[in-house]
Amino acid sequence: MPLLSPITVSKRHPFPFIKNNEICAMALLSTRNKNSKSRFGIVPCNNGMFSRLIEIPGKPGYYMLSEELILHFMPLIFQGYNIDCKSLIRITRNADIDADKVYDEELNYRDHMAEVIKQRKKLQPVRLEYTRDIDKKIVKSLAQYFKIDKEMIFNSKAPLDMSFVFTIEDILRTKKELFFDRRIPQRSPQFDETKPLLPQIIEGDKLLHYPYESIRPFLNMLHEAAVNPNVVSIKMTLYRLAKNSKVIEALVEAAENGKQVDVLVELKARFDEENNIGWSRMLEEAGCHVIYGLDGLKVHSKLCLITLNTDEGVKYITQVGTGNYNEKTARLYTDISVMTANENIGAEAARVFQTLALGEVMKRTDHLLVAPKCLQNKVIDKIDREIQICRDGGEGYIGIKINSLTDVKIMNKLVEASKAGVKIEMVVRGICCLIPGIPGETENIKVISIVGRFLEHSRIYIFGKDEREEIYIASADFMTRNTIRRVEVAAPIYDAKLRDYLREVFRIEMSDNVKARILGPDGNYTYVEHTEPAVNSQEMLYADAYRAVGSVIE
């Protein structure tokens, strides 16, 4: 009770401001006085002063949520009132901010973003949830208070915030039957971590596949670059980072050792803005040169460039990834990271950073695909090539693994390719606005979605077969927001062994018949039928990673 702040709504006590995603206990209160009007009683429930998960006294192993406890004892909180009805409620406020529209060139952009984030906390509600069956008139009154339409109101039978599950997870650790079998990211057989890593990359291209392989070699490479006397500069784009980021540690170390460290921190990474503001301050204090992206474009690319001045001249080591530089998600998301000393790729990566520093975008590339000017059009050109192969009597092929497909231009070109006879295989984990399997239209397109233990996040583009084959890994989905409204980078895989590996990964995923759903011509997803031995692609890739280093899965 001493930690709660109940309020009754009346002329003298207006409806309180409710924070975004804050759970409140709400009751309709009345008195025995027939002439008095009913009023709302509100109790904010998640003030951080007490545990949300409460063990029920005398019943070990049984728990209830603190907001349910508060709701149950509303009569004690509002003594002297009748509780006519009660419910838990939560509002979701609009999080869509456009910082560039109101940006004043005279202001520091980081300070401006900090102010914009403060404003977002007070934006208009866009959803109201409630948990109990309450009178429609009360729901209507709440809608009027929050100024939202009835289409934005939802009755939820589940807890309004499921984050308590993480606490339950810790409590239930001893019950192994409730958990996935233990899987640990393995060391990469491509690296000898007892020796310097930079020379190994100069010797030959390297690839890491998360979470099957550990992110450790990449982090060690950064720390090695931070102390290597031949390293002149480190340039990097940062979008989302882990809470205690080893990447930031390495960049700070490099700057303190006198390296030129240029970092583009995307302050418009939704819901990570405050974290990124903090990281940018830390980097600047260490002596890094920090920039904040482009007007109207998010920088979503995962690009790192290390420049060395050696006896043989200037050398580049370029890293391109499909996912964020985040040690936590590297254990939960499937992502690919490629490191190469290819001079052409390094030179183009250097141009990418130069254009970003000047507030511009790449207008021409020969090796990398770089949105917004040099990705969508190049993808379409490569699809056109496969169309022409089919029209000339050859076998056209396209393999795509992405998170979402919404780009109309690319979809139209894929339909055209299907009509021409190009075989198209796609792993699209999330939104897919193209319907496959329609006779005469998309009959040569197959789309599956894999939803398993790990979040499928890597992007792979495959165009052609045999000697024509081109394979890219990318940060970009085929969504308009990625292809024309963001700075994204796709890198070609030139090493034959790495191409063989990615081709096999794609083949295994297209063979998944355990966690894969296939999209039908009716727009519905169904599980792939078990006509052959079970193939769980994620388990198979983890088994391969263990086997590659001689480990045994427990």
Those residues with Cβ within 8 angstroms of residue 426's Cβ, 6 or more apart along the chain or in another chain: 399, 400, 401, 402, 405, 432, 436, 445, 446, 447, 448
- Single out the residue of 141, 221, 162 nearest to residue 188, CA to CA: 221
Two tokens at 499? 């191409």
Residues 6+ apart with CB under 8 A from 456: 333, 334, 401, 403, 427, 429, 450
Annotated catalytic residue: which of 300, 367, 457, 530? 300
Rounded CA-CA distance 335/27 in Å is 47
Neighbours of 536 (CB within 10 A): 18
Q: How far is CA 376 from CA 308, 421, 447, 481, in A?
A: 32, 22, 20, 11
The Cα–Cα gap between 540 and 553 comes to 11
SS3 341: coil
| 300 included as an active-site residue | yes
Pairing of strands 82-93, 23-30: antiparallel
- φ and ψ of 91, to 5 deg: -115, 150
SS (H, E, C) 361-422: CCCCCCCCEECCCECHHHHHHHHHHHHHHHHCCCCCEEEEEECCECCHHHHHHHHHHHHHCC
- Torsional sign, CA 121, 125, 126, 128: positive
Distance CA 356, CA 303 (A): 12
Listed in sequence order, the DSSP H helices in 484-536 are 496-510
Active site residues: 300
